[in-house]
Amino acid sequence: MNYVLLIFLVLAGSTWHTDSDKTTRFEPVAVIELFTSQGCSSCPAADRLLTKTLKESGKNIMALSFHVDYWNHLGWADPFSDKAYTKRQYAYAKQFNSRSVYTPQMVVNGKAQFVGSNEAALKKALNEATQRTPPANFTALSASPASGKVLKVRYQLEGDYQNCQVNFALVSKHETTAIQRGENGGRTLSSDNVVRQFVKVPAKSAGEVLLNDIDSGAIDLSVIAYVQKNDGLRIVGAAKAGIE
């Protein structure tokens, strides 16, 4: 009787321990950040690769097209460019121990970087990213119109998001521009998931941010949110939402 009771207690204790220590396994995600410009003749190939990747990939792969501004003085001012996006690229350059920036450049999950038209490098980076279980996850993400032309974005997080920020990008799903001057003069260029606004806040379990709704009646918008380490800039969770 004593041995039977002992075995029962050991098994019961082992089962209880396993259940209490069970950790949630979040679905792997990959975030592609493309730094590009309409003034760069090498960039359209990277823009096309980003479009192709979005069409062929599942929901766990997200992409953002950041148009930098340092090409604007060479004949064509990119209407989607922003100095803040250039600053973001320089932050990556510092992390990668690079003294300069270039276009087109892709960064995947804040970890891998390569020439933005290099399809083999992109596939390798995406394969590696989607094999890793991220430590954080969005349990909720929504974007809805508030007063005036303002979007209210609400989110909830779970997992390990200490020492992180949450990035919110309002993206236009598709843009086509007739280029009048510069290296791409005379061409009509298309690009997807063009970042129109970018806001970052310290990560916490739940919160909301406000974004300006850029002519939502004329273009198709969505919001991509991703959690990024303050040190090392590694991306550890991501989600996307349409405008409700």
**Which of 2-11, 37-46, 163-172 is predicted least confidently?**
2-11
To which residue do tokens 């009646």 refer? Answer: 217
Residues 6+ positions from 155 with CB-CB distance below 8 Å: 138, 140, 141, 142, 166, 206, 207, 208, 225, 239
Question: pLDDT digit string (tens) for 11-40?
Answer: 444 333 333 333 467 999 999 999 999 999
Q: What is the pTM of this model?
A: 0.88
Question: pLDDT digit string (tens) for 81-106?
Answer: 999 999 999 999 999 999 999 999 99
Question: pLDDT digit string (tens) for 49-76?
Answer: 999 999 999 889 999 999 999 999 999 9
- Measure CA 61 to chain center: 9
Which sign, positive or negative, has the C-alpha torsion 200, 204, 206, 207?
Answer: negative
pLDDT band at 215 (very low <50, low <70, confident <90, very high): low
Question: pLDDT digit string (tens) for 100-142?
Answer: 999 999 999 999 999 999 999 999 999 999 999 999 999 999 9
| Percent of the chain at pLDDT exceeding 70 | 88
DSSP structural state of residue 182 = S
Q: Report, as an integer, the average pLDDT of 167-186.
A: 96
